[in-house]
Structure 1
Amino acid sequence: MARHDNPSIGFSEEDARHLHHPHDDALVVSIQAGDYNMHRVLVDNGSLADIIYYPAFQYMGIGKERLTPTNAPLIGFGGTRVYPLGVVMLLVTVGDYPQQITKDVAFLVVDCSSTYNIILRRPTFNAWKAVTSTYHLMVKFPTEYGVGELRENQVAARECYVTMMKMDNHL
């Protein structure tokens, strides 16, 4: 396979043609985390923390002994503090072979309710030199073999939104 150094990354209307428009959907994707295909992964360009929610952590069968302690709280919109159970390193793969990347990611394990399994943060995408487009609902990133793509799951994004609204109504 031909190697590509610094491939150009761009988006076109063709990238968005399969979406239901108009939309204001969140960018929700699937990734491989550890040995699991993890769905309902929120790409959050505003977040400074990579987060895996405790139910997903348990589903993966990772023992608590793999957690590295941390005492730094996460601060939410209303100033609420959430203390992570710890930090776990997971090997994350995004994209389709051969246009894929695999990197270690340090996730804060958080035990609170969420419609998502994982949140990926802005610094992680910056480290991958990834470019996100909320209009196209996709992420593109350079690989040794061209530009890799991580496409949204618009149905999952809308299901997460509806579930979240139902959760909020019960609080």
Structure 2
Amino acid sequence: MPKNDEPDIVFLERDGRSIRQPYDDPLVIVLRVEEFNIHWMLIDNGSLANIIYSPAFQQMKLDKKRIKPFTSPLVSFTGDRIIPRGIVTLTVIAGTYPTQVTKNIDFLIVDYPSTNNIILGRPALNILRAAMSTYYLKVKFPIAYGVGEIKGDKF
């Protein structure tokens, strides 16, 4: 494929071969963030922010000097107002070699109970130029010569 052509991102029936229907599972994936494989990463195209929960950030043992101030409150699903600890830019690798992409993505650090480690919201999905399918439990994104993909974790 010529480098200037945009690949078509499509979901085909074969994308769902290993998924037993019916189900209503959330789209949860594993991604490489900095030097860590982060499990329990929720894809949420309804979220206006990318969030990393404090326990996950602390386990990564990154330099706290990387945290920049961020004082605008977030409103949770329950209506609670949450002030993030700050914002941090992390390197995210989506996909597996050779169909992968590396991007720097900003995450709000949040002290709030969650079963997830990270929420990838619309800002990250847009940076990755990603399309998601909850039906196929998959995320696809353009790479230099084709389309990369991430399969969701089935519970």
TM-score interval (norm. to shorter): over 0.9
Secondary structure class of the residue paired with 1:15? helix
Deviation (angstroms), 1:132: 0.5
What pairs with 1:106-145 in structure 2 (closer than 5 Å)?
Answer: 106-145=106-145
- The worse-fitting range, judged by mean Cα deviation, of 140-149 and 70-79 is 70-79
Aligned to 2:15, the other structure's residue is in SS state helix
**Residue 68 of structure 2 corresponds to which residue in structure 1?**
68
The Cα of 1:89 is off from its aligned counterpart by 0.6
The two structures have a TM-score, normalised by structure 1, of 0.86
Q: How many residue pairs align between the two structures?
A: 155
Residue aligning to 2:85: 85
Q: Which ranges in structure 2 are unaligned for 5 or more consecutive residues?
A: none
Partner of 2:39: 39
What amino acid is the match of 1:25?
D
- Distance in 2 (alpha carbons) for counterparts of 1:153 and 1:116: 13
Structure 1 residue 2, shift from structure 2 partner: 7.8
Which amino acid letter does the alignment assign opposite residue 85 of structure 1?
R
Kept after mapping to 1: 8 A contact 2:125/2:131? yes
The answer to whether the 8 A contact 2:75-2:82 is kept is yes
Counterpart residue number, 1:149:
149
Which amino acid in the other structure matches residue 74 of structure 1?
L
CA contact (8 A) 1:4 1:146 kept: no
Q: Tell me how far 1:98 sits from its aligned partner.
A: 1.5
Deviations 1:90-130 (A, max 9, x none): 00000111111100001000011100000001122123221
Normalising by structure 2, we get a TM-score of 0.94
